[in-house]
Chain A
Amino acid sequence: MKLKKGIPLIDQHDQFGFWGKRFGGSFIPETLKKPVEDLTEEFKKLRKDKKFIKKRDYYFKNYIGSPTSFVKLKNLSNHLGGAQIWAKVVSEANGGAHKIYNATVHALLCKAMGKKYIVGDTGAGYAGKMLSMAAKKFGLKCKIFMGAKDIKRQKPNCDAMKKNGAEIVPVYSGSQTLVDAVSECMRYWVSNCDNTHMCVGSTVGPNIFVKICGWSTAQISRELKLQIKSEFKKIPKKIKLINCVGGGSSAYGFWSEFIDFNKKQIELIGVEAGGPEKSKLHAAPLSRNAKIGVLHGAASYVCQDKEGQINTTESISAGLDYPGVSPIHCFLKDTKRARYTYATDEEALNAHVMVTKFENLNPSLEPSHAFAEAIKIAPKLSKDTIIIVNSCGDAKKDRDILKERLGKN
């Protein structure tokens, strides 16, 4: 298994859609073959279409607010000693998280394909909120599938979805979290694929959805590359790019421009959800050695039992609370280009507390997992090491959880 240079990772799959011959693919019911093929064709055409790219860039700039800022966390760096810690503040994007990139591109694709309805899944509620925003912006009718447990714990985002005119469909099956929301959304699409477009909220699902999402979030690293160059004059010798990984859309977007670099120069570190310290449950298939399985139309490392039933996951962060992970991250793991680890709920909470204490930054529980790793390794590293954390979501949505766990408003 080998990575190719000079080709975006999203395009390094074989004719059946597999990365490294074993991750990804399109394990879909026959009914979805046609809409998936249509979408594949349309995307293939549009991503080369100058007008479409111009439109995308226009909305990225004027609607999403690109570029998001790149800042040094001086106080945190001084407090910890060791490496310099920087943040790419992606949470400045319209809506408060990286999910807006994928949502905007899907809304543009939906329009281009002449469909009037768009549906999507959501865990933390960001994918849902952003899709509802994009739908409103482009005049599409929108339905969001969300686990009943997540609806309760991410209320601020649900309020936003409703305000944008989207219908939230609560999912009561299984664990009532993201995994069930994705299943229900796919079922809905099976029944309505003739007039409805589906947006998968991360770099998961059948091959084409991994590609579209990765193509959209890649904007983050395009900006970052320029920002690093202008800040340091050239790319520094020791960089660590730390990102949380649930499905893996923000991590891919954060890394895509840097995958071709030598890993000694730019190390990629993915941080999964380790779950509560005292629980056996987690949502960390890459770092806790899950087996390969098929979930939601793709093969990846999946938290599952011996028989292939998908395991219940547990994490304080709804956005990372997913038993599978993107096939491209499985590929990055097996080629050893990226290193994956996990942070527990408690470590993420502590990281959130520390970052908000020292910096004018309010990372949500998802990137707090990435900050936990940064806080752990920074003191051991030299001063010329640059740690960059993708602060990909804002903690406004976590208001209720933070209040409950920290007694904070």
Chain B
Amino acid sequence: MVSLINEAFRRARDAKRPALITYTVAGDNSKKKSLDILKSISTHADICELGFPHNTPIADGGQIQTSAYRAIKNGIKINDVFKIAREFKLSKKTTPIILMGYYNMIYQYDENKFLKKCGSSKIDGLIVVDLPYPENKSFSKKCKRKGINFIQLVSPTTSNIRLKKIIRDSHDMLYYISMLSTTGGKLKVSPQNILKNYFKIKNQNKSKNVVIGFGITGKTIKSLKKADGLVVGSAICKEISKSIKKRQNAVTNVTNVVKRLKNKIK
């Protein structure tokens, strides 16, 4: 069976554009609001990443940290995250949803119980920021058995030998971190250089969908459109913070941001 993630990439490829992947934090700034945002932006996004917030995020920059702390303060629990995903999938059956977060949350929930719950909530994929290769081997296998895509991360510091092994063990999608940075940093590497590294990965196995993330905004997205997919997270979280501060409708504002991003890569 072809995964929904592969399907989403195929549709984008047919339309001769990269897939647009959004990242929002579950429960930011309320459970209901984050579901509304998710539903609304998925009109323009091909794949939605949903963060399950952790209060000690070692790889996230300011914007996503702010969103995560806000969501935790508003009482988000892991089961709420699953509920949001499940409800989202009831109305958007073909849009893949990927959960993203830190390993301790999965560890406390129990790996097997967590994956079972992913299955019943129709989660399509998982990104675990602090569970790198090869430590993630057994968990990644468990994901595969449950039909859930385990998405490996690759960074500019990943060595060639390591890259080969990671690709060999990867599922449908790989996530290339554009630069040495936490999420939401200013793009400090030229798009040409990012794409050069990107194709080094892509050309090893063309059947894998490789996306680029970190530092992608309305300003930079167009220059990277040769990739299979592009992830935007911090720019969206920032918009939510801004809307709350200005007492504006976050759903409308965020949707407009995502729509503009989409138009730039069409």
B129 x A29 contact (CB < 8 A): yes
- Closest CB-CB distance, B21 to chain A, in whole Å? 18
CA distance A297 to B132 in the complex (A): 11
Bound form: Cα–Cα A190–B181 in Å:
6
Whether B107 contacts A33 by the Cβ 8 Å rule is no
Chain B residues in 8 Å Cβ range of A28: 58, 130, 132
B56 contacts A by Cβ under 8 Å: yes
Binds A, one of B82-90, B153-161, B252-260: B153-161
- Quick one: which of B144-186 are within 8 Å of A by CB? 152-159, 162, 177, 180-182, 185
* CB < 8 Å neighbour of A307 from B103, B105, B133: B105
Interface stretch of the complex, out of A112-120, A179-187, A390-398: A179-187
Chain B residues, CB < 8 A from A299: 107
Looking at the assembled complex, report how far the CB atom of B81 sits from the nearest CB atom of chain A, in whole angstroms.
10
- What CA separation (Å) do A218 and B109 show in the bound complex? 37
CA gap between A192 and B181 in the complex, in Å: 7
Q: From residue 164 to 201 of chain A, which have CB atoms closer than 8 A to chain B?
A: 173-174, 179, 183, 186-187, 190-194
Nearest-CB distance from A188 to chain B (Å)?
9
Interface pair A173/B132, CB less than 8 Å apart: no
Do residues A307 and B56 form an inter-chain contact, with CB atoms below 8 A? no
Judge whether A43 is part of the interface by a CB distance below 8 angstroms. Answer: no
Query: Which of A71-79, A224-232, A287-295 binds B?
Result: A287-295
B112 near A: Cβ within 8 Å?
no
Q: Let me know if B108 is at the binding interface, CB within 8 A.
A: yes
Q: Is B131 an interface residue (CB 8 A)?
A: yes
Q: Quick check: A31 and B177 within 8 Å, CB to CB?
A: yes
Taking the nearest CB of chain A, how far is it from the CB of B183, in angstroms? 10
User: Contact check: which of A293, A297, A304 meets B130 at CB < 8 Å?
Assistant: A297
- Most A CB contacts (10 A, CB to CB) among B58, B102, B158 go to B58
A34 to B159, Cβ gap below 8 A?
yes
Among candidates A173, A193, A308, residue contacting B180 with C-beta atoms closer than 8 Å: A193
Residue A108 at the chain B interface, CB threshold 8 Å: no
| In contact, B158 and A190 (Cβ under 8 angstroms) | no
Interface 1/0 per residue, B69-96 and A, CB below 8 Å: 1001000011000000000000000000
Given contacts A35-B157, A304-B104, A308-B104, contact A29 B180 (CB under 8 A): no
CA distance A193 to B177 in the complex (A): 14
Given contacts A30-B158, A31-B177, A194-B180, contact A186 B104 (CB under 8 A): no
Query: Is there an interface contact between A187 and B132, defined as CB atoms closer than 8 Å?
Result: no
Decide yes or no whether B191 CB sits under 8 A from chain A.
Answer: no
**Is the CB of B61 closer than 8 A to any CB of chain A?**
yes
B157 cross-chain contacts in A, Cβ below 8 A: 30-35, 193-194
Which residue from chain A places its CB closest to the CB of B79 in the assembled complex?
Answer: A307
Q: Are B154 and A30 in contact (CB under 8 A)?
A: yes
Q: In the bound complex, do residue B132 and residue A33 qualify as a contact, i.e. CB atoms below 8 Å apart? A: yes
Shortest A383–chain B CB gap in Å is 48
Check if B65 is an interface residue, CB within 8 A of chain A.
yes
Closest A residue by C-beta to B176: A30
Q: Let me know if B135 is at the binding interface, CB within 8 A.
A: yes
A128 at the interface (CB under 8 A from B): no
Indicate if A26 sits at the interface (CB-CB under 8 A): yes
We find that the number of chain B residues with CB closer than 8 angstroms to chain A is: 41
Asked if A33 meets B158 with Cβ closer than 8 Å, knowing A26-B135, A173-B69, the reply is: yes
Which residues does chain B contribute within 8 Å of A292, judged by CB atoms?
A: 107
CA distance A227 to B107 in the complex (A): 45
Candidates B109, B152, B177; contact of A308 at CB < 8 Å: B109
- Bound complex: CA A174 to CA B57 (Å): 11
Q: Is the CB of A191 within 8 A of B181?
A: yes
Whose C-beta in chain B lies nearest to the C-beta of A173? Answer: B65
Q: Report the bound CA distance from A183 to B135 in whole Å.
A: 21
Residues of B within 8 A of A32 (CB): 157
Residue picked from A30, A32, A174, A297, most chain B C-beta under 10 Å: A30
Instruction: Flag if B77 contacts A307 (CB, 8 Å).
Output: yes
A295 touches B132 (CB 8 A): no
Q: Is the CB of B135 within 8 A of A304?
A: no
Q: Are A309 and B158 CB-contacts (below 8 A) given A27-B130, A297-B58?
A: no
Q: Check if A29 sits within 8 Å of B104, measured CB to CB.
A: no
A25 contacts across to B, CB distance below 8 A: 135
A333 on interface, CB distance cutoff 8 Å: no
Tell me the minimal C-beta distance from A238 to chain B in angstroms: 41
- Of the candidates A26, A302, A307, the one having the most CB atoms from chain B within 10 angstroms of its own CB is A307
- Asked if B54 lies at the interface with its beta carbon under 8 angstroms from chain A, I say yes
With a CB–CB cut-off of 8 A, which chain A residues contact B162? 33
Let me know if B55 is at the binding interface, CB within 8 A: yes
The 4 closest A-B pairs by CB, nearest first: A308-B108, A34-B157, A31-B155, A294-B104
Offer 30 A-B interface pairs, CB within 8 angstroms, sorted by A.
Answer: A27-B130, A27-B132, A28-B58, A28-B132, A29-B129, A29-B132, A29-B153, A30-B132, A30-B152, A31-B59, A31-B157, A33-B158, A34-B157, A34-B159, A173-B69, A174-B56, A183-B56, A187-B58, A190-B182, A193-B157, A295-B104, A296-B58, A297-B58, A304-B104, A306-B108, A307-B108, A308-B54, A308-B108, A309-B72, A310-B55
Other contacts beyond A31-B180, A173-B65, A297-B58: 13, CB < 8 A: A29-B59, A30-B152, A30-B153, A30-B155, A33-B155, A183-B56, A186-B58, A190-B59, A294-B107, A294-B130, A296-B56, A307-B77, A310-B55
- Which B residues lie at the A interface, using CB under 8 A? 54-61, 65, 69, 72, 77-78, 102-105, 107-109, 129-135, 152-159, 162, 177, 180-182, 185
